[in-house]
Every structure is written in C-alpha cells, then in structure tokens.
Structure 1
Amino acid sequence: MTKVVLISSFLLMGFLAKAQEFQGKAEYFSKRIMKKNAEKIVAQKDEPLDPELQKAVEEAMKRASEKQFVLTFNKTECLYEEQQKLDKPEANDGMSISISFSSAGKKYLNVKDKNSIVEDNIFGKEFLVVEPIVQPEWKLIDETKKIGDYNCFKAELLIPVSEKQKKDYEEFLKKEEKKPALFKMEKPEDKVVTAWYSPEIPVSFGPDNYWGLPGLILEVNDGENMLLCSKVVLSNKEKAKIKAPNNGEKTTQKKFDEILKKKTASMANEDGVIIFEH
C-alpha cells in the first residue's frame, strides 16, 4: 500500500540545519511530452495535414523543447538558468519550420531570506519579478528508484488552477461568443506534478520553480514537460557567491502580469494575433 506524507515547514527547516556547508551544480535537460493533437498548432481545419508538413511540425516541436539548464546551489540559495547553445545548420533539401517556446530568464531562490527573483521581459523591456516564497505542500510517497548514482524518492504536488487562469479563460469565452478566435485556448485544469528527489544531496532545491523537498530534485514531470538531471557536481570548498539577477525594473508578479496583458492587448488585432511593426 502506498504511503503518503505531507511535508511540513518544520521538517524542511530541520533538514536544512543538518545540511553541510557545500556547494554544487546540477545540469538538466528538458523534454516536451508530445500530444497527439499537435497538428492543431498549424491549422484549424478538418482535412488531414500533408505528411511532409506534419513531420516538419513534429521535428520543430522536438527541437524547440530540447533545452539545457544549470542549477548552481549552496545550502541556502540557488540560481537556475538556461545554457545557451548555437543551432546546428540545417540542409535545405526539404520543408523546415521553426517553433520557439518562450521562457523566463534566470531564477534565483533564497530559503533563508524567503524570497525569489526572476528575470523576465515584455517585448524587450527587462523586469525583475520579486516575490516572497511559499512552502510547497508536497506529498512524500513511499516509492523509490535510482537516477544515476543516487537513490531517489517520489513526491507529488497539486497545483490548482489560479484565479488569473480562470479569469483569462472566461474572457476568452466571452470573445469567442462574438467572434471565433483564430487560436483556441484550452480550459485550464488542476495539475499534478511528480518529482523524484535524493536526500543524498541535502539541499531543498530543484529545476525551474520546484523546491521544498528534503533533497535535490533530479526529475520533474508536470504532464507537459519533463526536466531530467544529467550531471551533479558537489564541492566542499569555500562557498562561492551566488549572484542574484539585478538587471531590470523591479516589480511583483501581479504587476508584471498586468503590464503584459495591457501591452499584449495594445499590439493585437481583432483576431488576437500580435502585430509587430518595423
């Protein structure tokens, strides 16, 4: 029978107190979980897509989802950032499609000061989104597996639909009643995130926005994307300074969302398509 335990702030603080003074780096790569209805991204029509076009879309989706990240951490803070890489040249002997998934910049977390700082931008203007951190309510599950050389344990996190997501979807439905949108919005649903963490690496951090477990998170699956750790390097040398992002206008997440919504609306046509003027 599977055992489930709710992790508490008390447990986490006790865990942190026992952690040794060390630092480390973990490398991750992302994989997008492809859905069968990916062709809807290209066309809203009944007839099937051309096989060559379908193949080009699938390959473009795969390339866009394959990113690499590095997490630098010590006992109390961490910095998560994407590793930039040069795209390989492609042969022009067939159809080629380019797809890009946008993401925020560097993400900094400090469990001692209880705050996070995330680099983000709105059409070229840079912001620093500063927010207090809230302990995630992970459920620890009595299941184990090996990732590399590390023994890992399973945990799950329920992320309910936010009020912002509900409001955005309601606004979309109202617009849809007046005129069908070119790009459809799926109804937001609660999401269950599965993570695998190792107490053998005694820090409470992980990739992206995931943290708060009694061990480094080495794998995350949110149903749409997977983040997998490929390498961990630990050091007992003198702790190096982890630099928090400092380039951009400081704001809160709520204010950032308001600015983004206003700016996006001002640049969209009646079909909701963003128009870029040169």
Structure 2
Amino acid sequence: MTKVVLISSFLLMGFLAKAQDFQGKAEYFSKRIMKKKTEKVETKSKEPLDPELQKEIEIALKKATEKQYVLTFNKTECLYEEEQKLEEPKGASDGMSISISFSGGGKKYLNVKDKNSIVEDEIFGKEFLIVEPLVQPEWKLIDETKKIGDYNCFKAELVIPVSEKQKKEYEEFLKKEEKKPALFKMEKPEDKVITAWYTPEIPVNFGPDNYWGLPGLILEVSEEKLIILCSKVVLSNKEKTKIKAPNTGEKVSQKKFDEIQKKKTDSMKDEDGVIMFQH
C-alpha cells in the first residue's frame, strides 16, 4: 500500500533553518508533448502544404516545445529563466520565417523569506510583472524512491484543481457553441496531477517552473503534457552571486493580468473566435 503524508509548514521551517548557506545552479530540459496527428497539415483547398513549408513548421514546433532552463538558488530565493542561445544564421533566400511560442516563458522569481513571487509575462508586446504572495502547495509525499544522476530522490504528487476562471471560460465556450459551432474546440478542463521527484541531499525547497515547497531540490516534474528533467547541478559555498528579481514591466496581480489578457484577446477575435493580426 502506498504511504502518503502531507508536508506541514513546521517541517519546511525546520528544514530551512538547517539548510547551509550556499548557492547553486540547476539546468533543466523541458519538453511539451503535442497531440499526435496522422495527417499532414492541409490548406483550405485540401491540398497538402509545400514540403519546405511543412519542414519549417516542424522545426518551429520543435523549438517551441523543447526548451532549456537554468534555476539559480540559495536557501531563501531562486530565479528560473530560459537559457539564452544565439539565433542560428538565416539563409540568403527570402523564405518565410515561422515562429511558434507559448505564454508564460518569462523569468520566475520566488522568495520564501519574504513569501512572494514575481513572474514575467507579456500581452502582445506589453511587459508585466505578476506579483503574488506564496501559498504553500499541498504536496503529498509518497513512499517511492529512484536515482536521478548521483542523487537519491523521493516521489511527491500535487493535485491542482480546475480554477473558477477555467470553468467560466468553458461555460462561455459552450454557450457560443450552441449558437454557432466554433472553428477551434475547447477541451473540458480537468484537475491537473503533478508528479515530482526531489532530493533532500540538496537542502533547498525550490524546483523548475512554478514548482516548489518540497524538502529538497526538485529534479524532475511531469504532468499530462509537460516533462521537465534536470541534467546538471552545480553547488558552491564560495562568493555568492546576487539573485536579481525581475523588475521590468507593469506590476499587477494574477487576477488583474488575466482580466487585461482576456479583454485584449477578445477585442482581436473575429466571429469564429480566431485572433486576427494586422500588419
């Protein structure tokens, strides 16, 4: 029988008090799993896309779904950011350039001492800083272990229930669907189950993306469509590098950001719910 326990705030406080004064960096590889399609993309005329264009789309999709990140941390704060790489030189031809991206790719800063988080995001080019108080995740510790690299890791699970925002958006979609079938269908939102593997051998309670709150560094995270794996950890007790919180953009709460985003996207949609861009 699987043994499950909830982490208490007292456990975390005791753990932090014992953590040594050191700094570290962890490198992560993130892969977003897309739905498999058996057919190739077709145009409105049902003709298959040009092979070169099809190839460009596949390359752009791979770049968008496979990312590398760096987590810099000490015992009280951390910064998670995408690893910056030089763009590959473009060819001499005037071929079409295709770019695909997902929201939420900005820097993420957590401070367990001040109990706050700051996340970079943007809405059609306008930068925002989403500032929220930290709320302890209700992780369940599970009596399972495995080795990741040189570290002994333990399993934990977190259930993120469907939010009121998601429920409302789905209800609005269903109402519109009754009047006119939508071009793009919305899946019914469901509770999200997060599985994490953490190591108490690195005594900080941080991890990749927005995941934190376990008694050890999180080295692996998986959910339905996302896998994040740690490939390298470097620890140091020498001179410390200051971890800088993001400071560019308008400061808003998550609720305010969602409201601004919805208002902006709704204003750009046509009658089929497709966002129209004008050049």
Q: What is the TM-score of this pair, normalised by structure 2?
A: 0.89
Mapped partners of 2:99, 2:112: distance in 1: 39
Q: Which residue of 2 aligns with 1:229?
A: 230
Does structure 1 retain, via aligned residues, the 8 Å contact 2:157–2:195?
A: yes
Mapped partners of 2:60, 2:105: distance in 1: 21
Mapped partners of 1:99, 1:275: distance in 2: 16
Q: Which residue of 2 aligns with 1:19?
A: 19
Deviation at 1:29, TM superposition (A): 0.9
Note the alpha carbon deviations across 1:199-255, whole angstroms, 9 max, x for none: 000000000000000000000001101011011110012332111111111110000
Q: Which residue of 2 aligns with 1:2?
A: 2
Q: Which residue of 2 aligns with 1:176?
A: 177
Residues 252/246 of structure 1: CA separation in 2 closer, same or farther (3 Å cut): same
Mapped partners of 2:38, 2:169: distance in 1: 22
Deviation at 1:188, TM superposition (A): 0.4
3-state SS of 1:67 partner: strand
Deviation at 1:86, TM superposition (A): 3.6
Q: Which residue of 1 aligns with 2:62?
A: 62
Larger deviation: 61-70 or 229-238?
61-70
Structure 2 unaligned residues grouped into runs of 5+: none
Residues 20/38 of structure 1: CA separation in 2 closer, same or farther (3 Å cut): farther
Aligned length: 275
Structure 1 unaligned residues grouped into runs of 5+: none
Q: Cα RMSD over matched residues?
A: 2.7
Percent of matched pairs sharing the same residue: 82
Residues 11/247 of structure 1: CA separation in 2 closer, same or farther (3 Å cut): same
Residues 9/274 of structure 1: CA separation in 2 closer, same or farther (3 Å cut): same
Does structure 2 retain, via aligned residues, the 8 Å contact 1:193–1:221?
A: yes
Q: Which residue of 2 aligns with 1:264?
A: 265
Mapped partners of 2:64, 2:256: distance in 1: 29
3-state SS of 1:169 partner: helix
Q: Which residue of 2 aligns with 1:199?
A: 200
Q: Which residue of 1 aligns with 2:80?
A: 80
Note the alpha carbon deviations across 1:96-139, whole angstroms, 9 max, x for none: 96533233311100001100001111111111110001000001
Structure 1 stretches (4+) deviating beyond 4 angstroms? 37-40, 42-45, 52-60, 87-92, 95-98
The yes-or-no answer on 1:159 pairing with 2:160 is yes
Which amino acid is 2:212 matched to?
Answer: W
Residues 187/90 of structure 1: CA separation in 2 closer, same or farther (3 Å cut): farther
3-state SS of 1:14 partner: helix
Does structure 2 retain, via aligned residues, the 8 Å contact 1:104–1:118?
A: no
The yes-or-no answer on 1:104 pairing with 2:105 is yes
Does structure 2 retain, via aligned residues, the 8 Å contact 1:39–1:54?
A: no
Q: Which residue of 1 aligns with 2:250?
A: 249
Mapped partners of 1:159, 1:246: distance in 2: 28
3-state SS of 2:257 partner: helix
3-state SS of 1:129 partner: strand
Does structure 2 retain, via aligned residues, the 8 Å contact 1:206–1:218?
A: yes
Which amino acid is 1:207 matched to?
Answer: P
Mapped partners of 1:262, 1:234: distance in 2: 44
Q: Which residue of 1 aligns with 2:29?
A: 29
Does structure 2 retain, via aligned residues, the 8 Å contact 1:21–1:239?
A: no
Does structure 2 retain, via aligned residues, the 8 Å contact 1:24–1:234?
A: yes
Does structure 1 retain, via aligned residues, the 8 Å contact 2:103–2:121?
A: no
